[in-house]
Amino acid sequence: MNRPLILPDISEATLAQLRKAAEEMLKHAYAPYSHFPVGAALLTESGHIFQGCNIENAAYPSGLCAEAVAIGQMVATLGSTPVRAAFIVCKGHSPAWPCGTCRQRLNEFAASLMWVYTSTLTGSPQRMAFGELLPNSFGAADLQGIAR
């Protein structure tokens, strides 16, 4: 199925700005173990862009993915706000989609229709609706009505 790459409400200029913001983060990534730098940029419904890069740690589970850093920047600045789009860029040979943990992190802030874009530094972007990336997700709505 041939779908347009850009949603009607996200202009080509905004998408290019989002990609550039993710690419800028590659030079700040701290990836001495995997040598796999990743940059991410999130676009909020209010039009703000937040950036993040991966930060590795010798104790591997203690590292942070680029998406987690961008989410942290967003929440520290604006609080909880819906994310319209995420763009992830890597220097690898194929695009890096968010890991399972970051999919769940993004789910916490995903707008009702959120798109995830990913590409290599020199490649064309690929796009997927977040609902396809994390089908049957578990989120805040699943916890409603739980007695505390």
Helices (H), ranges, the chain: 12-26, 66-78, 100-109, 130-133, 140-143
- Is 12 catalytic? The answer is no
d(CA 41, CA 67): 7
Considering the candidates 12, 23, 67, 108, report the single residue annotated as catalytic: 67
91: which 2 tokens? 């220097």
Give Cα separations from 61 to 4, 57, 64, 87, 126 (angstroms): 37, 8, 8, 23, 28
Indicate the length of the chain as a whole number. 148
Strand partners, 44: 83
Q: Which helix (H) or strand (E) holds 53?
A: strand 49-53
Instruction: Count the Cβ atoms, other than its own, within 10 Å of residue 44.
Output: 18
Catalytic center residues? 67
